[in-house]
Amino acid sequence: MSATRNPRSLLPFIYRRLASRAGRRILLSLLALPVAAWCTLRVSMAIDVWRGNSLLLRVKQLRARESTFDDAMRLALEYAGHVDYGGEPCSPRNCSFTISLGYVWTGLQALISETDLLWAAGIRVSMFGASVQVRDGHVIGKGFTVWTEARRGLPSGQWLVTTTELTDHFPRADYHYGRLRGLEEHPNHHVAKPHLTTSGGGQVLEVEVTPDATAREIERAFDFRLSCISSLVGCSGLGDLLPAAWEDYVASEMSPCQSESDREYGPCPLRSLARLARDMDNVLLVEVKRIFPVDIKRNRTQDVEYQLVEILKGQPDKHLPRFPMDIGGDDAEPAHLPVGLPSRIFSPGKRIVLFLRNSELDFVPYPHCEVVPATEENLGVVRQRLTQLSQGAPISALR
């Protein structure tokens, strides 16, 4: 019976084996496998970035209000297998689709994003997406999105997300939101940095422009730089991916914030009416029927009952015919904020234009410009803008 071999005596044996030609081949093979895998993944990243740039170029080539349904379908055909219509029919009258590129095997994506060694070796997950909207035979909207892992060790988190959308209106941009975002000064372009809630944390930059934005604003909004994604160190921040839009965001953050200091409910600027007609979900022409007493529990608000006269935009059947409003009287205290609506515009029989959001319970949080007298001038501005919007024509008051 042979005795147990001393572990130390194995070292010369292993050395002799590795020193032989066969041993060297085995050692080289073992070393070559991880190197080959690393090179394969790095090449795959470079290819993904190249494909992302190609998709970005094609998205840029689509012109809102000019490119046709056939142009959009050619793009979808080029990326067949990566297109999602969201389960909805697609026709020249109405069509929306998205294109997604990147890692399609979720197992590999999870392995890479959860392995620190691969992340440190410059292997990261990245995905690219595009969206197109067509209405009445022409492209009315498009977008591009980048989702990538950031450079390792950044305090801001694991992910960087940048997205740009060209759309015919800004959803959720009521008067208050629009004012905070600077839409009173530049109604066709804004940049936001909302909170990103995802595993690993990160940052997101959102850019929105309309077809009425200047050529320079649109160019800056779609000025993506993707080279850092395939670099060894990776992207260090949102400014690496979308530098021009990041500059716009920083500039907007440094500018004085619009203050809510209107002490009187004066005439709403016609330019603001035009923007709200474009962006708000519902625009109604109503007639005041009845004003209810002040509800002290609601901090002096009064319910106002309306009779619908005309649907200018949206689906008013989803809204209540009666809304609580802050009617401050014609001589409201100057210290009262927000300023109440003057009672003179709420006499029974008076006609009013309401700008409302889609909601189960409507409440006008900031009355200025969202509740306006239905004067001939106000109605003319609203009707003209809605006609231009429905026809896909430039909105002259916002250019």
If asked whether residues 316 and 360 sit together in one domain, one would say yes
If asked whether residues 112 and 216 sit together in one domain, one would say yes
Examine residue 259 and state whether it is found in any structural domain, yes or no: no
Which of 223, 254, 285 is the last residue in one of the domains? 254
If asked whether residues 390 and 295 sit together in one domain, one would say yes
Q: What's the number of domains the chain is made of?
A: 2
If asked whether residues 246 and 304 sit together in one domain, one would say no
In which order are the strands placed within the sheet that holds 351-356? 322-325, 301-313, 282-295, 351-356, 371-373
- Show pLDDT as tens, one digit a residue, over the chain (399 residues): 445 555 555 556 555 555 566 655 665 666 666 666 667 777 888 888 999 999 999 999 999 999 999 999 999 999 999 999 999 999 999 999 999 998 644 555 555 555 565 656 667 888 999 999 999 999 999 999 999 988 766 777 778 999 999 999 998 788 878 888 888 888 999 999 887 766 667 899 999 999 999 999 999 999 999 999 888 788 888 999 999 999 999 988 877 655 444 444 457 888 889 999 999 888 999 999 988 887 666 566 778 888 889 999 987 666 677 777 777 654 444 444 445 677 777 888 999 998 888 765 555 545 678 888 999 999 999 999 999 988 888 887 787
Examine residue 7 and state whether it is found in any structural domain, yes or no: no
If asked whether residues 226 and 137 sit together in one domain, one would say yes
If asked whether residues 130 and 243 sit together in one domain, one would say yes
Residue whose tokens read 């009064």? 302
| Phi (first) and psi of residue 353, to 5 degrees | -100, 125
Could you give the C-alpha distances from 31 to 13, 24, 111, 253, in angstroms and in order?
A: 21, 11, 21, 51
If asked whether residues 217 and 306 sit together in one domain, one would say no
Which of 213, 228, 254 is the last residue in one of the domains? 254
If asked whether residues 245 and 170 sit together in one domain, one would say yes
Q: Tell me the residue range of the domain where 142 lies.
A: 41-254
If asked whether residues 171 and 134 sit together in one domain, one would say yes
Examine residue 3 and state whether it is found in any structural domain, yes or no: no
Which of 226, 254, 282 is the last residue in one of the domains? 254
The pLDDT assigned to 259 comes to 47
Examine residue 28 and state whether it is found in any structural domain, yes or no: no
If asked whether residues 233 and 278 sit together in one domain, one would say no
If asked whether residues 317 and 392 sit together in one domain, one would say yes
> What's the full length of the chain, in residues?
399
CATH number at residue 347: 2.40.50.120
The model scores a pTM over 0.85: no
